[in-house]
Amino acid sequence: MNVSKAIRTKRAVRQYTEESVSDDVIRQILATARWSQSSKNTQPWDFFVITDKDLLAELSQSGDFAKHLPSAAFAIALVGDSDNYMVGFDLGQTAMSLQLAAWEVGIGSCLISFHRAEQAAEILGVPEVKYVRIGISFGYPSPEHKAAKMGGRQALDDITHWNNW
């Protein structure tokens, strides 16, 4: 899959088959994402992989829109070194890398906001000096999966400014 096709077709997937994803495939996805760029190459992230179904179910309580998390084959919580804009930006880049690397091998995904971030950190046992605000669920898309109706995109001309606002 070429890059532009991957970006255009990677949509939020919240319905998964029951097929598991092998540790080797998960490692391959992580190995690609670790090459994401970051401010001053600080790489201010840890990837917390969750394959345990009970842990997925427990973690789903930390977000207001995380109902799909327990049915995922696995999830990755993005753990940041600080809770600031730049680290958040860097984590966003790894998030996209993880999602695209997964999509390349047919695995769908969806971001999850942990609205109760402290609860998420406690469930995962993340050290107090680290931050967990976002996770990503992954799994093979169920045949019932359809891209969200509300999921169009703004017209290019409405969001593009050439030389003048």
Ligand X SMILES: Cc1cc2nc3c(=O)[nH]c(=O)nc-3n(C[C@H](O)[C@H](O)[C@H](O)COP(=O)(O)O)c2cc1C
CA-closest candidate to residue 131, choices 86, 74, 88, 71: 88
Q: Which of 6, 12, 86, 117 binds ligand X (CB under 6 A)?
A: 12
CB of 9 or CB of 27, closer to ligand X: 9
Nearer to ligand X, 57 or 147 (CB): 147
Contact range with ligand X by CB under 6 A, out of 6-14, 38-46, 52-60, 119-127? 6-14
Of 23 and 83, nearer to ligand X (C-beta) is 83
Q: How far apart are the C-alpha atoms of 49 and 75, rounded to whole Å? A: 6
Instruction: From 14, 32, 133, select the one nearest 69 (Cα to Cα).
Output: 14
CB of 88 to ligand X, least distance (A): 9
Which residues between 56 and 115 bind ligand X (CB under 6 A)? 63, 65-66, 110-113
How many Å apart are CA 120 and CA 125, to the nearest integer? 8
| Contact status: 147 vs ligand X (CB under 6 A) | yes
Residue 4 CA: distances (Å) to CA of 7, 14, 104, 159:
5, 22, 12, 19
- For position 125 contacting ligand X by CB under 6 A, the verdict is no
Report the residue closest to ligand X, judged by CB. Answer: 151
Q: How far is the CB of 112 from ligand X (least distance, A)?
A: 5
The correct pick among 4, 24, 151, 156 for binding ligand X (CB under 6 A) is 151
Q: What is the contact surface with ligand X in residues (CB under 6 A)?
A: 11-12, 14, 63, 65-66, 110-113, 147-148, 151
